Structure 1
């Protein structure tokens, strides 16, 4: 009986000491560089080339899902790997976004890296601007208005040609937002907007360059508390 009791106590101690698995953390992206042209490692037939992706390890991550989206066709390619690098065959002369999702089989939670933009070089001599990067409010975020019942919208723009001319900022209570709130020049990347509490708002930024090219940030939303 004493032996059985000892085994039971040891089992209980082992269960009590076992730590819950930790969710993975987001990786830091390395290459292709943000808002730049990539350096393909191989050209293939059909105006395509092989692009290499690299990132740093995420804590507690067992595997990674690489997601690369063609910003012209809006098609996404994915690959899952346990390594810190992967390759994909991509269309030449097109802009792309890429991100990496960290995973661990012991937990349901995942972690998503930043999203970076890049161009896979081709025969283009002029480039459309990259979609505006939203800085605040974060997509889907919850924010407080200031003492003037306003919230500041902030973004950043990038263009390989360096010829951004300005932005069209759309903002409304409906989605997609149809109200053109402002058209600031390239040097202005923030705008204060009047808001009400306990309300959802939708906005988007169209980036324009001097060649007439444009890009769309996509529809963003936030709730004012």
Structure 2
């Protein structure tokens, strides 16, 4: 009788055990095209377009993957959702792109984003313009605290398939587009200090230059100095 009572209690306890909530998906590791590289494996579609296969690793708790590919020259985006760890898209030759993969699970609202990688889709060019500088901080719409000298540090990251960056030019203004050149750091520079006024919105951008005379524009970013 005692054994039966213990068994009944155990069954009740097991029945009352709460079901664990579904776990959110994890981000993937991108594989190909490689970061800051030239992709030469595209399948020709016509004189201006080739089909490129994007590959990434599987991530936990993920049902589907959304691949987003952005043309860095005009901002146009292409996307496709798949259940596999690869997808093909037709993209323009001789053009810089960025790509990112979003992990999704229908059981939860959360998603997970991979890092964003840049690459050039191979074309007929013998030299490539630098990739647009990646803005590290302040990010778009962020608040930046000035130091005791009323300075804020602007940080960016540059890359070039040809590895021939010769320098950068930074523009900063309280008006957009920013047209006041404030600094022309060398090829190894990744940050610079600028004087700011508290409670003021600033706009900034970075132009990257290479030895062939090619340039690229980061686009305009804004931040509020505090």
Partner of 1:160: 161
Q: Secondary structure at the match of 1:155?
A: strand
Larger radius of gyration: 2
In structure 2, the CA distance between the partners of 1:78 and 1:183, relative to structure 1 (3 Å rule), is same
TM-fit CA distance, 1:12? 8.9
Q: Deviations over 1:15-59 (max 9, x none)?
A: xx1333333232221110111111324222233222111122333
Aligned structure 1 segments of 4 or more residues deviating by more than 6 angstroms:
9-12
Unpaired runs of 5+ in structure 2?
1-8
Partner of 2:151: 150
What is the alpha-carbon distance in structure 2 between the residues aligned to residue 177 and residue 25 of structure 1?
38
TM-fit CA distance, 1:176? 3.0
Partner of 1:175: 176
In structure 2, the CA distance between the partners of 1:146 and 1:26, relative to structure 1 (3 Å rule), is farther
TM-fit CA distance, 1:100? 1.2
Aligned residues: 216
In structure 2, the CA distance between the partners of 1:143 and 1:107, relative to structure 1 (3 Å rule), is farther
Partner of 1:114: 115
Contact 1:129 1:214 in 2 (8 A): yes
- Is 1:60 aligned with 2:61? yes
> Which stretch of structure 1 is more off in the superposition, 177-186 or 138-147?
138-147
TM-score (norm 1): 0.84
> Which stretch of structure 1 is more off in the superposition, 187-196 or 78-87?
187-196
How do 1:73-112 and structure 2 match up within 5 A? 73-112=74-113
Q: Secondary structure at the match of 1:22?
A: coil
Unpaired runs of 5+ in structure 1?
1-5
In structure 2, the CA distance between the partners of 1:43 and 1:62, relative to structure 1 (3 Å rule), is same
What is the alpha-carbon distance in structure 2 between the residues aligned to residue 57 and residue 197 of structure 1?
46
Q: Deviations over 1:165-210 (max 9, x none)?
A: 2212112333333322212222322111123444443221111122
Q: Secondary structure at the match of 2:187?
A: coil
What is the alpha-carbon distance in structure 2 between the residues aligned to residue 13 and residue 174 of structure 1?
62
What is the alpha-carbon distance in structure 1 between the residues aligned to residue 138 and residue 188 of structure 2?
20
Instruction: Please provide the CA RMSD for this pair.
Output: 2.4
What is the alpha-carbon distance in structure 2 between the residues aligned to residue 111 and residue 199 of structure 1?
33
